[in-house]
Amino acid sequence: MTTQVDKTKEVLAAMLKEDVGCSMLDSGGEPRYDDQGNYVGSNHGYGRGFEKIKNKDLDKLPVSCLRFSHRNGEIDIEAALSTYHWLQEKLDFDPVIDGLWKQYLVEHEDEDKADWELMEGFPGWLKEHPWVEEVRGLLDRGTYEAINSYNGPSMLDGVIQWFPMQIKLNSDKWTMTRILLQTHNGCDVRGGYSDPRAFIVLDGEWLMNSDATISCEHVAQPGQGKMFEGCNDEPHRWRTDDAYRFHPDEHDGKELHEYIGTYDLSLKGDGEHLAIDEETHEGYCPICGAKLALYS
């Protein structure tokens, strides 16, 4: 039996792997694959998103990537959340609005318009549909427009574009934020997007793609009754809402960038240094010495 979670995963995986073609103007080049079909690079270009993951099991991709390094004590943090896993957490596939969107496209198939232009006309069409009780804009000025994650800070390892609407169907108990979502699968961000599909936003009204948390890693310690290695109770956390600065949360520490970076692991948890494994680029909590991890 297919569950809602399974269907959401299926649609998201199909979107991310959708062949969006190539343009003679992009810099994707010609993909190279090994004997097992794994992407190994691109000739004369940077590669395209769908080419890099076409033969991968997306469920096995890391949920996040976190790497530390330093130069003369100044810390550099490379942090990214898996677009696939993050979207699973934030969205549910919406078969009703998805079906209405496809009906709308059929009725407008003779119009020579880009996806974003067609999306701008969709709310007005929905308002006239007998299944729909209410449609309104989500933005402050009450207008409808697509939002592209490339145009602002983002913690995601890929680019997404979404068109948000507040919609209440006749069968709904309340108004919900629904979006038409596209994933960027090409090379040049100006093109190469998947076909739009419809989803319900599960947590609030907005997709907060610039938010993330670095904290002591969630590791069960058998027989010790604690979930965070090095911590007696709660982990030490640093949060960001701009995909750059990680601010301390409910403890007296400094911003993560303000600690002194070191490759001397004997200084783990000394309160002054963020110790970094020079080989693995793993970082350790400057307060308790636990390994740090990235969470959405």
Q: What is the pLDDT of residues 121-152, one digit of tens each?
A: 999 999 999 999 999 987 666 678 889 999 99
Alpha carbon 222 to its chain centroid, in Å, reads 32
CA distances from 185 to 93, 137, 154, 274 (A): 19, 27, 17, 36
Q: Reply yes or no on whether the pLDDT at 259 is more than 90.
A: yes
Length of the chain measured in residues:
296
Residue 136: give the domain boundaries: 4-22+30-55+94-201
The bridge status of strand 39-43 relative to strand 30-33 is: antiparallel
- Cβ neighbourhood burial of 74 (10 Å; 0-12, 13-18, 19+): exposed
Mean pLDDT over residues 227-248, rounded? 80
Q: Is residue 13 part of a domain?
A: yes
Q: Give the pLDDT band (50/70/90) at residue 232.
A: low
Q: Is residue 176 part of a domain?
A: yes
Q: How far apart are CA 89 and CA 96, in angstroms?
A: 20
What is the residue-averaged pLDDT of the chain? 87
Provide the pLDDT for residue 25: 62
**49 shares its domain with 159:** yes
Backbone φ and ψ for 282, nearest 5 degrees, come out as: -75, 145
Which token pair is 147? 């939002």
Contact at 8 Å (CB) between 200 and 94? yes
**263 shares its domain with 236:** yes
Provide the pLDDT for residue 99: 97
Of 201, 230, 261, the last residue of a domain is 201
Mean pLDDT over residues 15-29, rounded? 78
Of 175, 201, 227, the last residue of a domain is 201
**287 shares its domain with 185:** no
Provide the pLDDT for residue 32: 79
Q: Is residue 62 part of a domain?
A: no
**104 shares its domain with 168:** yes
Q: Reply yes or no on whether the pLDDT at 289 is more than 80.
A: yes
Q: Is residue 61 part of a domain?
A: no
**118 shares its domain with 197:** yes
User: What is the count of structural domains for the chain?
Assistant: 2
Hey, what amino acid is at 48?
R
Q: Is residue 60 part of a domain?
A: no
**264 shares its domain with 157:** no
**111 shares its domain with 241:** no
Q: Give the pLDDT band (50/70/90) at residue 225.
A: very low
Question: In 3-state terms, the chain is what percent helix, strand and coil (to 5)?
Answer: 20, 30, 45
Provide the pLDDT for residue 53: 85
With H, G, I as helix, E, B as strand and everything else as coil, classify residue 49: helix
Q: Reply yes or no on whether the pLDDT at 229 is more than 70.
A: no
Q: Reply yes or no on whether the pLDDT at 114 is more than 50.
A: yes
**146 shares its domain with 224:** no
Q: How far apart are CA 74 and CA 132, in angstroms?
A: 55
Q: What is the pLDDT of residues 26-49, one digit of tens each?
A: 777 777 778 877 777 777 677 677
Provide the pLDDT for residue 231: 60
Q: Is residue 121 part of a domain?
A: yes
**148 shares its domain with 280:** no
Q: Is residue 279 part of a domain?
A: yes
**74 shares its domain with 185:** no
Of 201, 231, 249, the last residue of a domain is 201
**231 shares its domain with 166:** no
Provide the pLDDT for residue 37: 76
Q: What is the pLDDT of residues 72-112, one digit of tens each?
A: 999 999 999 999 999 999 999 999 999 999 999 999 988 88
Mean pLDDT over residues 48-59, rounded? 84
Q: Residue for token digits 């990235």?
A: 294
- Cβ neighbourhood burial of 231 (10 Å; 0-12, 13-18, 19+): buried
Q: How far apart are CA 274 and CA 169, in angstroms?
A: 51
With H, G, I as helix, E, B as strand and everything else as coil, classify residue 153: coil
Q: Is residue 206 part of a domain?
A: no
**181 shares its domain with 280:** no
Hey, what amino acid is at 153?
P
